[in-house]
Amino acid sequence: MQIAGKKKKWVITAVLLSIVSSIAQFFPYVAVYHIMKELINNANHIYLISYKKIEMWGYLSLASVIVYGVLMYISVMCSHIAAFNILYELRVALASKLVKLPMGYFTKKTSGEIKKIMFEDVERIELFVAHHFPDFITAIVFPLLILSFLFYMDVALASTMLVIFTIAIWLQIKMMGSKQSKALSQQYHEALSKMNNSIVEYVRGIQVIKIFNKTLFPFERLKRDILYYKESSINISQQFSGTYTNFLTILSSTILVVIPVAVYLLISSNNYPHYATTVFLFFIFGTGMFFPMLKLMWIGGMFNQNSTGVEIIDELLNKRELPESIHEITPNEYSVTFNNVSFAYDDINVLENISFSARAGKITALVGKSGSGKSTIGMLIGRFWDVGGGDIFIGNVPIKEISLENLMNMVSFVFQDNLLFYDTIEENIRMGNKTASLQEVKKAAQAAMCNEFIEKLPDGYNTFVGENGTYLSGGEIQRICLARAILKNSPILVLDEATAFADPENESKILSAFSNIIKNKTVIVIAHRLKTIVDANEIIVLNNGKIVEQGIHEDLIRQGKHYYELWRNYLNISEWQL
């Protein structure tokens, strides 16, 4: 009910219909009792048997079965409507939450773990609400109806059955509610997450695995996680096996306990025929209660697993988001300023007292050795994390005072690791601007030097990318991502090795195209190929998370320090030959 949200009315309707259908399902038992009563009471005088009464109870029983079927069908439909809406709303809520979480969350959580939460845990809730919930209600209501009717018929026999069922239910609660069972359930979910993550990693890295001739079991992590999952599953089975066996034995032998009590009461009875009917009724119900109770136990196990899944979903939904300002301020211009910015990944310092300004309409280049903090600076501009100290400004406004949505509209990124979605090339480019026309998409593609190879594809801009579609080279993917950023037309552009996968000819074309693209934009270029940034208006040299030099190319070369060393090494590498 808590996760049903706006669909509570569907869940309530499903519950009410399940209750009414349980009553309808119970009615044939009452009919059988009255038919047996009519036959046994008149066993010595067959001519007194009212066949019309028997026929009436038969038709009423048939009608109740039809009513049960119809109501149960409608109940299941209502529960399915609720379930699929809950599934939809949960996945939308989770997807929305993931977007608002700092990037640091994803460095700690693997893709396999997130996949399990968004798909398997949510799917299990949908399955429970759609299918198991109506059964769960029936499994509770039906035995209660039977016990109520039995107490009405005979207190002694009903009390005997109640004692047996109380013991069975106590065993089930003990099995499902113990701390050990909860711990095992959590261990099971953890093992499943680890295995999912290893499988995803294994599939993604299959090319490397094949190159180095690694089969499944030498890939130790996957092997270990599969065995851990197997061990967790066996542990749960072993933990519950004894209690489950006792529960099943007690529940299925109810009639064996009822028989001696019934025989004693039957012998003691003054009205033998009438009491014989009652005893027969208890024999029917003794077996009739077995299946709902068994179903209740099975659903209880599912509910236990679901509860752990819901806790994991709640944990994600309750994660602290990046705080947003209530009173948003719009920048007056789009320069980017770092003012004594420090940042650390957990306890590892990455940036220390970084201060610089990237002017609007100018190119600012960030260079330095790997691990010096260049890419981190780029991502901090988009507020992928909040800084540990200092402030980042766009114009005169701290980025914390700008909503994340507007900040993302102001900044475009092209990273080293580019992603194209399984969709047409046109739609992949249009992600930068959903309202853009095809002509504008093509114009952006021309500016990124990818129109030529797109036009040569079988379906042109309607060609699907990825599985069951066309496969593009790294340079082609990077240029399409560049076209996406161009079409977005944001005032701030962050290029993290944007020409890394381009061949020399296309790199030259892309760089010449930049002169038109970057007009009136704040451009921050993160580069290892130093020749791509020699004309930058400002070059910032980083080393171990600190700014060690700052200036234009010629001045930095003349100083003969860090930048000069980087430039000399770059030139030496360019002369290497095999």
In sequence order, the 6+-apart residues with CB closer than 8 A to the CB of 465 are 420, 421, 422, 423, 424, 425, 428, 472
In sequence order, the 6+-apart residues with CB closer than 8 A to the CB of 577 are none
Residue type, 452: E
Q: What does the pLDDT read at residue 59?
A: 93
Helices 155-177 and 254-268, axial angle in degrees (round to 10): 160
The span from the CA of 526 to the CA of 530, in Å, is: 10
Q: What does the pLDDT read at residue 63?
A: 94
129 alpha-carbon distance from chain centroid:
17
Residue whose C-alpha is closest to residue 325's, from 380, 386, 377, 376: 386
**Backbone angles phi and psi of 444, in degrees to 5:** -65, -40
Residue 336 pairs in a beta bridge with 358, 394
35 alpha-carbon distance from chain centroid:
54
The two three-digit tokens of residue 227, written as one number = 């065995």
Residue whose C-alpha is closest to residue 187's, from 234, 224, 223: 234
In sequence order, the 6+-apart residues with CB closer than 8 A to the CB of 518 are 363, 493
pTM of full prediction above 0.85 = no
Q: What does the pLDDT read at residue 470?
A: 63
Q: What does the pLDDT read at residue 61?
A: 92
Pairing of β 492-496 and β 389-394:
unpaired
Give pLDDT tens digits along the chain (578 positions). Answer: 777 777 788 888 888 898 898 889 888 888 888 888 888 777 777 777 888 889 999 999 999 999 999 998 998 898 888 888 888 888 888 888 888 887 767 766 666 677 778 877 888 887 778 877 777 887 788 888 888 888 888 888 888 888 887 887 787 777 666 677 777 777 887 888 788 778 877 777 776 666 666 555 556 778 888 888 898 888 878 877 777 788 778 877 777 888 888 888 777 776 666 677 777 777 777 666 667 777 777 777 677 667 777 878 888 888 887 777 777 788 888 999 999 999 988 778 888 899 999 998 888 999 988 888 888 898 889 888 888 889 999 988 999 888 888 888 888 887 776 678 888 889 989 987 888 888 999 988 888 878 888 888 888 889 888 654 567 777 788 788 888 888 888 899 888 876 665 666 666 666 665 665 677 789 898 887 787 788 888 999 998 889 999 999 899 888 888 888 888 888 887 677 77
**Backbone angles phi and psi of 344, in degrees to 5:** -140, 140
